């Protein structure tokens, strides 16, 4: 009896192959043929699951976002009940930076998707919506922290949200070896120490 193929599992394996192509060879080498080769299948087999580069890239980006979300959720579970907002923000920022293999793969995938968004209106709209949603979650956390007296009442939630998210700009400095992981973590900790009331 022929083995049943789990289509979602196969699509995720293809997405991981795409991550490996971006991670090891760069976004310029990203093509359906290159991903098919990395996944150990023919170009035609891959097209059975993804008809276009954009469709593949979108699925891989969604998969990467879900993967990052799972890492954050596992980390949050480790913080116990009712974690401090500072700890939540730190964990989220750390998981968005390329500080370990899995985070580096998803970070590079995100960079590839942003590059694609610069030249594709549909990808741009989808990326912008995702970023707005993530930003809103951070701002909601900061608004609650201000209401709870954990951040000074004279801080503007919108500005503080942007300042926190600006820390994700450490990514290229880490990727290019301009700063060390310890320096990135020190910058995050100093910023959060300055943000929260002691």
Note down the domain range covering 149. Answer: 7-195
Give, for all 198 residues of the chain, the pLDDT tens digit: 445 567 888 888 888 888 888 888 877 777 888 889 999 999 999 988 888 888 888 888 888 888 888 899 999 999 999 999 999 999 999 999 999 888 888 888 888 888 888 888 988 898 899 899 999 999 999 999 999 999 999 999 999 999 999 999 999 999 999 999 999 999 999 999 999 997
Distance of alpha carbon 180 from its chain centroid, rounded? 20
Q: Measured in Å, how far apart are the chain's first and last C-alpha atoms?
A: 66
Q: Domain for residue 1, yes or no?
A: no
What pLDDT shows up at residue 1?
A: 47
The CATH number for 160's domain is 1.10.357.10
The reported pTM is 0.82
What pLDDT shows up at residue 42?
A: 92
Burial class (CB in 10 A: 0-12, 13-18, 19+), 185: middle
Tally the domains of the chain.
Answer: 1
Tell how many helices (H) and how many strands (E) occur in the chain.
10, 0
* Angular region, 149: left φ>0, alpha ψ -120 to 50, beta rest: left
What pLDDT shows up at residue 5?
A: 60
Angle at 179 between CA 178 and CA 182, to 5 degrees: 165
Which of 84, 108, 113 has the alpha carbon at shortest distance from 98? 108
Q: Domain for residue 88, yes or no?
A: yes
Residue 39 near residue 46, CB atoms below 8 Å: yes
What pLDDT shows up at residue 57?
A: 81
């Amino acid at each position: 009896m022929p083995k049943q193929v789990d289509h979602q599992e196969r699509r995720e394996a293809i997405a991981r192959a795409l991550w490996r192509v971006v991670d090891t060879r760069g976004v310029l080498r990203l093509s359906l043929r290159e991903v098919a080769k990395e996944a150990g299948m023919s170009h035609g087999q891959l097209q059975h699951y993804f008809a276009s580069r954009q469709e593949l890239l979108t699925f891989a980006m969604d998969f990467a976002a879900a993967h990052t979300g799972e890492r954050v959720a596992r980390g949050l579970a480790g913080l116990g009940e009712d974690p401090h907002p500072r700890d939540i923000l730190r964990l989220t920022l750390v998981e968005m930076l390329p500080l370990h293999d899995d985070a580096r793969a998803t970070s590079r995938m995100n960079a590839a998707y942003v590059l694609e968004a610069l030249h594709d209106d549909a990808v741009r709209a989808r990326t912008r919506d995702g970023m707005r949603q993530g930003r809103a979650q951070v701002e909601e956390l900061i608004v609650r922290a201000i209401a709870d007296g954990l951040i000074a009442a004279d801080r503007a939630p919108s500005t503080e949200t942007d300042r926190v998210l600006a820390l994700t700009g450490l990514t290229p400095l880490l990727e290019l070896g301009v700063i060390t992981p310890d320096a990135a973590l020190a910058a995050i900790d100093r910023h959060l120490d300055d943000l929260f009331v002691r």
